Structure 1
Amino acid sequence: MSSSIRKILCTKILLALLVATVGASLLGAQTSASAAPPTATLLSVKPEGPAADLNDPAQLSAFIDGIMEGHMDNFKIPGAVISIVKDGKILLSKGYGHSNVEEATLVDPETSLFRIASTTKLFTWTAVMQLVEQGRIDLDTDVNTYLETVIIPKTYPQPITMRHLMTHTAGFEEGGVGYQITTDPKKLPVSISETLAKHMPARVMPPGEMMSYSNYGASLAGLIVEEVSGIAYNDYIQKNIFDPLDMKYATVQEPVPASLEPYAVLGYARENGQFATRPPTFEGGFRPAGSGSVSADDMAHFMIAHLQDGRYGDQQILEPKTAQLMHSPAFVFNKHLPAMDLGFSDLNMNGLRVISHGGSDELFNTEVYLVPDKQIGIFVSYSGGDGGAAATGLARAFFDRYFPLQEVKLSPASAVLGNSLQKYAGSYQFTRRNHSDIDKFFNFLVKLNITVSDNRLSIGSGADQQVYAPIGPDLFQEVGGTHKMGFRTDASGKVTYLFLDELNPMPLEPTPLIDQPKFWLPLLGISAVLFITVLTGFAYRRREIKVMPKAQRWAVRVSVATAAWALMTSVATFVVVLNMGLIDRLSRITQSLNLYLFMPIILVGLTVVILALSVMAWKNKYWTVLKRVHYTLVSLSAVVMSLFFYHWNLLGWHFG
């Protein structure tokens, strides 16, 4: 994810948290599209000069040193490593900073093992293609044909195939709260099949319809490798990928084998201005999706093999036609936008087709960029700080220096296109999200809003704003930049999906009103205000309440209890639940979360009681009409909050 879009999303989350806490509403204004057609626009970055010589090792080393050292300082990164290959050789392999800050151990590109998280999927996908090549797996056969210990339910008429898993179009929802990772090595090893059977996400989309990045899907592919080959996943990857590629400092085993443990890079977080060691995270039964630890030199071997159609030295891990198939588009959102290959994601870097894969967790960030047409590969990994922003910046600097973009003048879009931009405006949410479990709530505030102004679409505002101009039907390009945005529409012209090339393979779809913060936050804010009036009224009218008839007195007391409990539950929701650290959230169900989940249930009970008392108040004419109206509004506010907890799967213990 680009740093600008990351900033936009983070800002929205912080703003929404603030708004929810004070009980106010968050409403955004949209400007209407102008009817005037846009003029021809130059939508590119001007090159600063001729391309530098990539074959000059001293120049390349000095350039990369400057970028890496600057990023490590700016993004507070303790250790990093990079390897660059070209034409079957390593052009550069260097380490920066420390693999162990406390012991002042320097990063060694030959031996230092960086956790590469989701980049591990490239090993899994390569293993799958080896079995495809052998005729033991067919890309378009129901995966249940190969599975022995896990059966995927037939939610839709269409079966899930290996092609769907490799293009992230299987249609699984996302999940992970309480089980995705562990920080306790004593819980390892964990069976892949048992994990996938126990934590199977729901199928929420017909296979092949749209991408939704899935760790579960990749893990399922790893299980198929294991069960089809008859070899444990870890052993298969070692025997069929690492050994033939002479990758001596690489493993998918967790924890890393004792022989490699001295070379494992420690992960760090910033604490009081210093780097503080954090325990490593383990994927356990999801290891085919993210358990790899690899050195830069060894990743260079892997990149060379893929760039040379499966060949490294005298070893051939894939036949040329198999490697070429793996690197070819397999799911196309729009022919003008980067595609999804069989495991790799396409990017457009200054006009070059780049196939890539990244990986990140709380402590490490990794990116792999391969340019098949230029026989160039880049591997970069960071052990802390904002490595994601650093990797994006490094890639951009590299391609701008060695493959500068030439100016391209784009044709003006038609007036008809300009007049119809309003249909693209609105809130969008990622297809990669949860629907069935408590995980759903963590998507509540993660939305992307698009506005329209002067025949342009905008994401964000101020310095972080990205503006896109139309260049064709359902297609837009960043003004002053190179990124593109595309939409899919149905037969009626209604937008169904949004795709940002820099977020491949994570498209978005329009957010229904009931899923939007702008729907819930005003209702919650009004409810909070009404609850506060109940508490303040009780404080000021205690003497008056004491002399009321018993039934009326109890009605007031129930309203006070409901108001106080609703406010406490709201605060706990946004402070306790959303404030959970990512590692805590994904590794275990905390006692505080279990205890918190009693609160919405108790609120529902109070809501039922206050609704009944509201009916009694009107029937028996308690108090004045105005006070009865107020009492009814308070009751409805309790209903609103109960519905909020129900809709976002906070009513009960919905764990995957």
Structure 2
Amino acid sequence: MKTVSHIFTSAWLILLCAFAVGSVESSWSTPLQSPDKEEIDGLELLITEQMDKHKVAGVTVALVHKGNLIYARGFGYADIENNAPVIAHDTLFRWGSVSKTFTWIALLQLVEQGKVDLDADINNYLVDVSIPDTFEQPITVRDLMSHMPGFEDLILGHIFEKDPEQVLTLTAYLQTFKPERVRPPGELFSYSNYGSALAGQIVANVSKMSFEDYIERHIFMPLGMASSTFREPLPTKFKESMRPRLASRVSKSFSPSGNTYEQVNHFTFISGIGPAGAMSAPVTDMAQFALALLNQCKGLLAVEMCSMMREPLTSMTAANQITINYGFFEHREIAGHLRFGHNGGTDYFHSEMGIYPELDFAVLLSTNTTTGKGFNKEIEKAIVERFFGVVNKPVVPVNANDTSEPAKLARYSGYYIDTRRPVSNAEILVTFTQPSTRVSVEPDEQLSIAVGSELFKANWVSGHLFFDKDKGRYFEFVENEKGEIINLKSLGSLDRVSTFQTPETKLTLILISVAVIFLSFLLVLVLSLKRFSVRERPSQQRFRRALILSGCAWVISLALLLYGIIHDIGAYAYPYDFPSIWIKVASAFCLFSSFVTLIPIQAMLSLWSDTNVGKVYKMVSLILIVNLLLLISQLYSLNLLRLYFS
């Protein structure tokens, strides 16, 4: 078995031989000097520096160019407790959503064989799982591959699992965690893990073998990816368990802890939704996949099908800044070069597969630490720039044939929230961590688009397309048949919402309601002190007692809810245990408290019919009840007035 130094030496010799030939040098897209040992040393220094900066414990890297693996090396640790280093050809990393590209290739193989029709209803190929006909249009296979099936996005509490005994089969998962269909298929891009898992189920059903078996026989074996697998180290009762010799080679996971790392020894299971992200592989195996994609999908698909796979199914905007090509993402966001590929992330691992067809080059990167995403972006950009330079991205010119006048900018103003969000359960709480996008009009006829903490200044291009020249970002608005602006597209899709539907407003209303309820409750008690000097009216007495009963119920409910939110989001608990028992109990208490609120409402009506009760007392009681109803309505919109026990 080769050592890391042997691989590095071999890679260096390949580099030296390749770039010693003048004709090869001219094939690089810029007149930069061919990489030499000094360049490689500089790259490795950059990687180690960025590992320190981003606090990344272990990294695996491979580069391929012109049909060869030219570089592969591991950095850092795969297991700190046992002092085990990352070895490029031996250590398996978890590639997360890069796994989806194998699922799409498998599905296209079946399309090529005539066994699957891209435009057929997916229910034609599903067994034991059925997608409801919520909309007139059925979801097609093509909709899955363009991430446009129209599902809500649900992941917490089930996409990752720590306890192997709780892991579900693919079929059971798809049955148990079926998301709601929230928009017609083919309408908007909204990244879907569930849709990708459905694609894997179609592969299994049509091929009449398990998804894992199919991938091994029809992708891994032809490409010589002997150490790659979608299987996981599950109990023996599972037929699709990972072989022990591979399980022992999977890198541990890490999170930074001061100047060191906290090693996580549990295996994160993704088998339930495996086709969407369960693959483990050494980077050298991933390089074989990249080489095949660069070589017209040799060993995977016919040339014609491979060419079709590169065609866009949809684009983020009319500028084609980012397109989705049969599950692969294509753009020029890295140094201006055309990139075709996918990224991936689990709870700890972060990965990149960047294929650069115009350069006949690919970068494979994976990290085993929670902080690896930023590291990957910086390193891939540095590699491409170092070896190929920076080129200018094509800019969409103003359409001279577009006779439409620049639209009144005010019609675009408003708030927009991500289409990739939960709708049907308590996971909607997560939207509080996703700030809305605000669009407003600047005095100089620009659109100001605030995306989180980043601000864009966009000018009109044509139609509903706008462009921020300084930051190179396009924005496109979508109107409905009534001429109303309903969506915003850029690096993703967003729904236009009213101010009251934004996470910020919902949170503000909840806090205001709780504060007003608390102050009104205190004021009612203060006004009720008169009963010690002046006899309290029966209606006031009933209202006060009903208020105390309701107040106690709400104090308990909100305390449980607050603790539940802190518990579920803290200590990385939420991907595995959501909703926790605390959220479930809190939701049940909130439902109970909502019914209890009927008692003070009835008492208030009696109070208002009593002519001997002062106006101040009546107004305070009304304000309190109105805010209780406002609180209830907000909790209802967050799906927190239901029983989650099963």
TM-score by length of 1: 0.85
**Number of equivalences:** 598
Look up the SS of the partner of 1:596 in the other structure. Answer: helix
Aligned equivalents of 2:100, 2:312: Cα separation in 1:
17
Task: Check whether the contact 1:78–1:385 (CA below 8 A) recurs between aligned residues.
Answer: no
Instruction: Find the counterpart in structure 1 of residue 5 from structure 2.
Output: none
Change (3 A) 1:253 1:408: closer
Are residue 91 (structure 1) and residue 44 (structure 2) matched?
A: no
Where 1:212 maps in the other structure, the secondary structure is coil
Question: Secondary structure in 1 aligned to 2:315?
Answer: coil
Counterpart position of 1:507: 493
Which residue is 1:587 aligned to?
576
- State whether residues 368 and 380 of structure 1, in contact with CA within 8 Å, keep that contact through their aligned partners in structure 2: yes
- Within-5 A mapping of 1:435-450: 435-446=423-434, 447-450=436-439
Secondary structure of the equivalent of 1:211? coil
Q: Which of 286, 302, 308 is the matching residue for 2:273?
A: 286
Say yes or no: does 1:621 pair with 2:608. Answer: no
Provide the C-alpha distance between the structure 2 equivalents of 1:55 and 1:150, rounded to a whole number of angstroms: 54
Give the drift of 1:339.
Answer: 1.5
Cα-to-partner distance string for 1:562-592 (whole Å, 9 max, x where unaligned): 3454455445445522651385334334221
CA distance in 1 between partners of 2:214 and 2:511 (Å): 55
Task: Give the 3-state SS of the residue equivalent to 1:98 in structure 2.
Answer: strand
The amino acid that maps onto 1:287 is G
1:535 Cα offset (Å): 4.2
* Shift, 1:105, TM fit: 1.5
C-alpha change, 1:409 and 1:435, in structure 2 (3 Å) is: closer
Distance 1:208-1:295 versus aligned 2 partners, 3 A rule: same
Q: Identify if the C-alpha distance between structure 1 residues 600 and 88 changes in structure 2 by more than 3 Å, giving closer, same or farther.
A: same
Distance 1:410 1:259 in 2: 52
- Could you say what secondary structure the match of 1:108 adopts? coil
Structure 1 residue 614, shift from structure 2 partner: 1.0
Equivalent position to 2:219, from 234, 241, 244: 241
> Structure 2 counterpart of 1:307, which letter?
L
Instruction: Check 1:206–1:295 CA distance in 2 against 1; reply closer, same or farther (3 A cut).
Output: same
Structure 1 CA distance for aligned equivalents of residues 398 and 204 of structure 2: 53
Choose between structure 1 and 2 for higher RCO, CA contacts under 8 A separated by at least 6 residues: 1
Amino acid at match of 1:327: R
Q: State the distance in 1 between where 2:96 and 2:331 align.
A: 20
Q: 1:276 to 1:374 in 2, by over 3 A?
A: same
1:250-276 C-alpha deviation (Å, 9 max, x unpaired)? 111012421112211111112344311
Aligned counterparts of 1:55 and 1:141: Cα–Cα separation in 2:
49
* Aligned counterparts of 1:463 and 1:142: Cα–Cα separation in 2: 41
Aligned pairs for 1:376-525 within 5 A? 376-401=361-386, 402-406=388-392, 420-446=408-434, 447-453=436-442, 454-460=444-450, 464-500=454-490, 503=491, 506-525=492-511
Q: Which runs of 5+ in 1 are unaligned?
A: 1-49
Cα distance, 1:518 vs structure 2: 4.9
Distance in 2 of aligned mates of 1:211 and 1:632? 45
The answer to whether the aligner puts 1:176 opposite 2:169 as a matched pair is no
Amino-acid identity (%): 25
Q: Is the contact made by 1:538 and 1:560 (CA closer than 8 Å) also made in structure 2?
A: no
Structure-1 separation of matches of 2:221 and 2:261: 35
Cα distance in 2 between the residues matched to 1:540 and 1:460:
45
Match of 1:554 in 2: 542
**Are 2:560 and 2:583, in contact at CA under 8 Å, matched by a contact in 1?**
no
The answer on 1:222 being equivalent to 2:200 is: yes
Q: CA deviation at 1:522?
A: 4.3
- Please give the per-residue CA displacement for 1:454-508, whole angstroms capped at 9, x wherever unaligned: 33334449984343333333223334333322222235543222222xx3xx311
Structure 2 equivalent of residue 16 of structure 1: none
Match in the other structure for 2:82? 103
| Runs of 5+ unmatched residues, structure 2 | 1-28, 234-241
Per mean C-alpha deviation after superposition, the further-off stretch among 320-329 and 439-448 is 439-448
CA offsets, 1:285-320, max 9 Å, x none?
211111011111111000111111112xxxx12111
Choose which of 258, 267, 277 in structure 1 pairs with 2:244. Answer: 258
Instruction: Give 1:307's match in structure 2, choosing from 294, 298, 318.
Output: 294
1:9 match: none
Post-superposition shift, 1:245? Answer: 1.0
2: CA distance between counterparts of 1:276 and 1:400? 33
1:192 aligns with 2:170: yes
Does the aligned pair in 2 maintain the 1:88–1:308 contact within 8 Å? yes
Residues 192, 493 of structure 1: alpha-carbon distance in 2 compared, 3 angstrom cutoff? same
Greater mean deviation of Cα atoms: 151-160 or 285-294: 151-160
Checking the alignment, whether the CA contact within 8 Å between 1:177 and 1:438 is kept in structure 2 is no
The superposition leaves residues 314-372 of structure 1 with CA deviations (integer Å, 9 ceiling, x where unpaired) of xx121111112112111234341222110101222344331121111221111111122
Distance between the aligned counterparts of 1:276 and 1:213, measured in 2? 31
Alignment partner, residue 362 of structure 1: 347
Question: Matched residue of 1:82: which SS?
Answer: strand
Kindly indicate whether the alpha-carbon contact (under 8 Å) linking 2:456 and 2:471 is maintained by their aligned counterparts in 1.
no
Quick one: distance in 2 between partners of 1:109 and 1:495? 50
Q: Call closer, same or farther: CA 1:522–1:333 in 2, change over 3 Å.
A: closer
Alpha-carbon contact 2:61-2:73 (below 8 Å) kept: yes
Contact 1:528-1:567 within 8 A present in 2 as well: no
Q: Would you say 1:143 and 2:122 are equivalent positions?
A: yes
Aligned residues of 1:534 and 1:560 also touching (Cα < 8 A)? no
Displacement of 1:115: 0.8
C-alpha displacement at 1:632, in angstroms? 0.9
Matched with 1:23 is none
C-alpha distance in 2, partners of 1:539/1:296?
Answer: 68
Question: What is the DSSP-based 3-state SS (H/G/I as helix, E as strand, rest coil) of the residue aligned with 2:134?
Answer: coil
Query: 3-state SS of the aligned residue for 1:250?
Result: coil
Instruction: Provide the rounded CA distance (Å) in 1 between the counterparts of 2:377 and 2:576.
Output: 28
Deviation at 1:179, TM superposition (A): 2.3
1:113: which partner in 2?
92
Partner of 1:46: none
Distance in 1 separating the partners of 2:85 and 2:423? 45
Q: Tell me, yes or no, if structure 1 residue 329 matches structure 2 residue 316.
A: no
Q: What SS does structure 2 have at the residue aligned with 1:526?
A: helix
Quote the residue 2:14 is aligned against: none
Deviates more, 1:409-418 or 1:444-453: 409-418
How far apart in 2 are the matches of 1:98 and 1:178? 29
Specify the structure having the higher radius of gyration (Cα). 2
Q: CA deviation at 1:636?
A: 0.8
Residues 578 and 157 from structure 1, CA distance in 2 versus in 1: closer, same or farther, beyond 3 angstroms? farther
Distance in 1 (alpha carbons) for counterparts of 2:449 and 2:531: 53
Tell me the SS of whatever aligns to 1:497: strand
Structure 1 pair 586/463, CA: closer, same or farther in 2 (3 Å)?
A: closer
Q: Does 1:529 align with 2:518?
A: no
How far apart in 2 are the matches of 1:379 and 1:417? 46
Q: Where does residue 356 of structure 2 map in the other structure? A: 371
**1:165/1:462 CA distance change after superposition, 3 Å:** closer
CA distance change for structure 1 residues 523 and 483 in 2, over 3 Å: closer, same or farther?
closer
Residue matched to 2:338:
353
User: Partner amino acid for 1:125?
Assistant: W
- In 2, the alpha carbon distance for the partners of 1:133 and 1:54 equals 43
Q: Which amino acid aligns with 2:339?
A: V
Check the 8 A contact 2:152/2:181 in 1, yes or no.
Answer: yes
Deviates more, 1:63-72 or 1:259-268: 63-72
Given that 1:140 and 1:163 are in contact with CA atoms closer than 8 Å, whether structure 2 keeps it comes out as yes
- Look up the SS of the partner of 1:300 in the other structure: helix
TM-score where L is the length of structure 2: 0.86
Aligned residue in 1 for 2:146: 167
What's the CA shift for 1:523?
A: 3.2
- Alignment RMSD, CA only? 2.8
Distance 1:640 1:553, change over 3 A: same
Q: Which residue of 1 aligns with 2:325?
A: 341
